[in-house]
Chains A and B, each alone.
Chain A
């Protein structure tokens, strides 16, 4: 990790010495999390509000048409949760772009997939779960990534020389788990632990209305098993990181206002080999009610055949329905609302999101995550009081 950083700093230093266009951007954010219900776990803070401050400076150097460097840092200071007070280098990489191929070295971020409510196929980056439960915040991943654009799709090869552990809320944090996650006790199946080298390969191609991606990952699984363990001081969850092989497929078919989506994986290495899939659609109604607004209707079905040994997922047999409203106004105002309902237990997770630009460079975001119904005796019961509402004011520069 340190080597990567030193190498990066010298590369960036060399490029900066030439100093052509250096672009500085990013944001600073003030956030408040609001909790309508008292916590279930005694260690959790019981204030109704938890403010925090976050910043993400971004620097980009473009040396010439082929060479560029990116540095994106992120940090947050949280009032209650020491685990959420954290910082990370989201990106610190050098890109060589030769047109029909490119090479990226350093800390990077990639996204794979097409679905909205679950990102099954996306596996390169570890989730920064303490940031958000939507699993869309990611930690910077050390990587060497070669992409080749050919007449038969784009091939991407990844060598991932260092593993990042998932972040979890601390004992005071909300939303949180019933037990503290003892990250310092993390157990790795491979004796090289975080230094085990992971590999990934992806092919993606467009065939008419179809965008298709096929991928394989071999290495340390990003999702840990959380094993309840008694240690002096009380019970904790110990994260176990297994060696896995995961093959993924993602397909989107685009027909006029219809987007049809499929993501599927087969994973070996966490109990019995299992498969999981997400299939669904997004249908957009344009300029509804004679306004300029677009309404997107989203539905996705999730199925996951993993057994109890594998890391817990809420998406075992669930239906997600949601709607996205884009006002298409000058402030880019948008709403997103959805519910994920367990077909067997009817346990329901609701999310609402709102975003608008309140002035040039200023953005307001509201985000809520609620559990209107949680069936007794389910793992999800641990979250039943963890409703969280977030208000965020962002200043972009």
Chain B
């Protein structure tokens, strides 16, 4: 197994409107507001199950334990640790990611059979995460400066649980290198500033994937987290559903667990 990863849970943001703003300013303001509402969770732990389904409906499953450490800084983003529980042949494999706003991210892979910690190239933003329809970049911390934004319109939110809410629809354009996308369309609700849907457009500007965020629950009276992320690849007919068990936030995760030198003692 080679390319594992994950990260912080997708903390999406989107457009918010004010009066004499340009669509770009409004898009950025919405992203900032969403970011602001998500600050202060400190760290999190969650169990994740990923179900991969091909066109014929054949399924395979991966189980992971995720930990994230919030980093509030102008240059560095959050740190995340993905530990694989299954499939059994990759059990114990771990992926540690440090995200940065504009400079390349740092990633280390731990291979339990060899007891080897490997620093891996971080250029692989658009590659598949463990054979799923999620690319690495879909799962990394969605820090505000990683995109530029453009507000488009308002309309009712697209998921059932949020259909009573109104959503900001905006475009965002990756500014980090090696993205597989030319742009993304986002739906963010006006009430809680949570992303409800993302549409991904590939480098040829074709709509390639759609991601729905559902089963939102609130933690610590403040932080909303989607518990089901359903990604559909429109070009291949493949689907990946990522579902989360209960989040623990502000869970007193040991910061030294995010040190590459401690990966070998995780298990």
Residues of A within 8 A of B (CB): 25, 27, 60, 70, 95, 97, 99-100, 102, 104, 109-111, 114, 136, 147, 149, 154, 204, 206, 211, 252, 254-259, 284, 286-287, 292, 294, 326, 328-332, 334, 357, 360-361, 363, 394, 396-397
Contact = CB atoms under 8 A, between A and B. Distances in A.
A154 B91 contact: no
14 contacts: A27-B89, A110-B264, A111-B114, A111-B116, A149-B259, A149-B261, A204-B261, A255-B104, A257-B121, A284-B124, A329-B131, A330-B54, A331-B131, A396-B88
A294 B3 contact: yes
Closest 9 CB pairs of A and B: A396-B88, A330-B131, A154-B261, A256-B123, A257-B123, A111-B115, A111-B116, A328-B128, A396-B89
Given A99-B254, A328-B2, A332-B2, 7 more contacts: A27-B89, A109-B115, A256-B178, A259-B121, A287-B127, A330-B132, A331-B131
Given A111-B114, A397-B88, A292 B119 contact: no
Interface of B: 1-3, 52, 54, 60-61, 87-91, 104, 106, 114-124, 126-128, 130-132, 177-178, 180, 254, 256, 259-262, 264-265, 267
Contacts of A255: 104
Contacts of B130: 330, 332
Given A111-B116, A363-B89, A254 B256 contact: no
A330 B52 contact: yes
A343 B202 CA distance: 46
A287 B106 CA distance: 20
* Majority DSSP secondary structure for residues of A touching B: strand
Given A111-B115, A256-B121, A330-B54, A357 B254 contact: no
Contacts of A328: 2-3, 127-128, 131
Contact of A254 (B89, B121, B177): B121
A258 B2 contact: no
A332 B90 CA distance: 10
B123 A149 contact: no
Contacts of B1: 332
Given A25-B91, A154-B261, A256-B121, A332 B131 contact: yes
A286 B119 contact: no
Contacts of B89: 27, 332, 357, 361, 363, 394, 396
A286 B124 contact: yes
Nearest to B90: A332
A9 B231 CA distance: 48
Nearest to B112: A58
B5 to A, nearest CB: 12
Contacts of B123: 256-257, 284, 286
Contacts of A149: 256, 259, 261-262
Given A292-B128, A330-B60, A357-B89, A254 B2 contact: no
A255 B105 CA distance: 10
Nearest to B107: A254
A98 B265 CA distance: 11
A326 B256 contact: no
B213 to A, nearest CB: 23
